[in-house]
Amino acid sequence: MKDRSLLMIPGPVELDPEVVEALAAPITSHLAPIFMEAFGSALERLRQVFQCPDGQPFILAGSGTLAMDTAAVNLVERGDKVLVVNTGYFGDRFADIFERYGAEVTQIRALPGSRPALHEVESALKSGQYKILSVTHVDTSTGVLTDVKGIAALAAKYGVLNIVDGVCSVAGEELRMAEWGVDLAFTASQKAVSTPPGLALLVAGPKALEVFRKRKTPVGSYYADWTLWMPVMEAYEARKPAYFGTPAVNLIRALDVSLGQILAEGMEARWNRHIAISNAVQSAIDAMDMNQVPVNREFAAHTMTAPRFLAGVNGPEFLKKTAQAGVVLAGGLHPAIKAEYYRIGHMGTTSIAEVLTTIGAIETALSSCISSYRPGEAVQAALKAYNT
């Protein structure tokens, strides 16, 4: 039987065939012209995807956590005060990373599914003398979307450098770095950027670069030090070879193909497609009477959905049944509510056909978990929401 299921988790995600083709190309030298062109082009395209014309892009081999680590280690010096706007598991992780590099961290937290209000962020900023504020655009553990535009404006008002963890948002949720005044944002290749796992992608804006240049102490990591990577990024962008650490040649070629597709779709069209797809998923979840982790629609991401299990449904059993029906979904991640919910990723290249397949698999699983369940309505609700 066909040994292939549909992967609908919040990363890694399904890939476009052209991206897969780039991965399967024969390995070249990292100094080959074809690779220099792909690396240079990917750097240029990152600036456009992040909407930061004056930014410095970095492409490093590693996962999203390396992007977090790189952001923190290059910008923080011992004793700096950092404010973390925490909406879940990845906020906790970022706070840990900042502390590891000697920052004094304050966190503003919300209950799982909620997010701190802008006035809470503002009163923290007022009282704090912070150097850096970080916010997770979409916390993948709760599916909560934050108001990055509002938070970046507050950070600018109080002269605080702001960093956006966009690992579950960049190329899926609206993000306009330069226009909104975001100083540094990052993502990883396997989320809405639609490339396999393995690349950390950062864009540092002018203020972040200035803070980095004015450091008094050396960067506390050798591998992640921008001093060593900057000449490499500059050289490749000029289509010249350079070496510090061997780049992930085929991943970068695949990344360039995917970034080309993203820009061909157009950023606004892509953000709108994510909204249409998420409306379809959310309506289907409502039609099945499932609650969601985000406490209201305004707080819910468009790149993923975090529905709670229906009462009486055994979570692991339900996820096993959806997998048997051909669709792989993810379990819970936030430690406080881990067993109560599951996660559907619908970022990147996700189509309405894939959403209908996913909802169909969920209804199939529910029918076998709950004998009185009558399938069909959720698929219709998804289609109806998508078409309006």
Ligand X SMILES: *Cc1c(COP(=O)(O)O)cnc(C)c1O
Of the pair 11, 196, the CB lying nearest ligand X is at 11
Of the pair 193, 381, the CB lying nearest ligand X is at 193
Closest distance between ligand X and the C-beta of residue 63, in Å?
3
Residue at token pair 């065939």: 17
Residues that bind ligand X (CB under 6 A): 11, 63-65, 90, 136, 139-140, 165, 167-168, 188
Of the pair 57, 196, the CB lying nearest ligand X is at 196
Of the pair 70, 136, the CB lying nearest ligand X is at 136
Which residue, 12, 8, 9, 6, is CA-closest to 333?
9
Of the pair 167, 184, the CB lying nearest ligand X is at 167
Closest distance between ligand X and the C-beta of residue 252, in Å?
16
Closest distance between ligand X and the C-beta of residue 368, in Å?
31
Q: What is the Cα–Cα distance from 284 to 256, expressed in whole angstroms? A: 34
Of the pair 90, 341, the CB lying nearest ligand X is at 90
Of the pair 39, 90, the CB lying nearest ligand X is at 90
Of the pair 93, 321, the CB lying nearest ligand X is at 93
Q: Which long-range contacts (CB under 8 A, 24 or more apart) does 40-47 make?
A: 40/236, 40/237, 40/238, 40/239, 41/256, 41/259, 41/260, 42/252, 42/255, 42/256, 42/259, 43/233, 43/236, 43/237, 44/237, 45/256, 45/259, 45/260, 45/262, 45/263, 46/201, 46/203, 46/259, 47/203
CB-side neighbour CA atoms (13 Å) of 68:
22
Residue 152 tokens read as 């970046």
Residue 368 tokens read as 């076998």
Closest distance between ligand X and the C-beta of residue 89, in Å?
8
**Secondary structure class of 14 (helix, strand, coil):** coil
Q: State the burial class of residue 328 (Cβ atoms within 10 Å of its Cβ: 0-12, 13-18, 19+).
A: middle
Closest distance between ligand X and the C-beta of residue 302, in Å?
14
Query: Minimal CB distance to ligand X: which residue?
Result: 64
Closest distance between ligand X and the C-beta of residue 323, in Å?
21
84 near 98, Cβ under 8 Å?
yes
Distances 295 to 3, 44, 193, 230, 335 between C-alpha atoms, Å: 38, 38, 27, 42, 17
Closest distance between ligand X and the C-beta of residue 192, in Å?
10
Closest distance between ligand X and the C-beta of residue 134, in Å?
11
Q: How many Cβ atoms sit within 10 Å of the Cβ of residue 384?
A: 14
